[in-house]
Structure formats: structure tokens, C-alpha cells
Amino acid sequence: MERERRKAKLLKGSAWWKNCLGRGVCAYCGKRVHPTALTMDHKIPIVRGGTSSRSNCVPACAECNQNKQNLPAEVWRTLLAQR
């Protein structure tokens, strides 16, 4: 798990991640927020076998990231749609 955290830290410094943040949109709820208010979320959580890679990381607002917890992204999107 520590290895994935180190990889996530490196990914946060990449131009790709800065581009994602620059859009200012949560990948889950679609809200427009200030880029500094976005956090990195793993679509498949590390505790469920996910990795810190471009294909598994998305920008999320703090509310979605906190409420999603360790759910896979598809489960969280389904729950959001039911609200």
C-alpha cells in the first residue's frame, strides 16, 4: 500500500494530473469546483486492489471522495444517480 501512495504522490506532480485539475470538474457528480478543491480519488480503491495509475485516478470533489469511501466507482455512480 505504501508503494501505491508513493506512486500517487508522483502522479500528482505530473502535467497530466494538473490538466485534470485545471478542468475543475468532479468526475463523479460533475460539479464545477475550484481546482484546489479537487482531490485524487482511485476508481478502484487501493484496499480493493486498485493502483495509482492514470487509468485508475480521477479528480473528485471533497464531498464525493469522502462519501465514496472504499466503494468502486461504478457502485458510487449508481448510488449518486439514486439520490
- Looking at residue 27, what is its pLDDT? 95
Do residues 70 and 36 lie in contact, with contact meaning Cβ atoms separated by under 8 Å? no
- Looking at residue 59, what is its pLDDT? 97
According to DSSP, residue 69 is labeled T
User: CA–CA separation, 60 vs 81, rounded Å?
Assistant: 16
What pTM does this model have? Answer: 0.89
Tens of pLDDT along the chain (83 residues) come to 889 889 999 999 999 999 999 999 999 999 999 999 999 999 999 999 999 999 999 999 999 999 999 999 999 999 988 88
Q: Among 34, 32, 44, 52, which residue's Cα sits nearest to residue 76?
A: 44
User: CA–CA separation, 83 vs 53, rounded Å?
Assistant: 30
Domains of the chain: 2-82 (1.10.30.50)
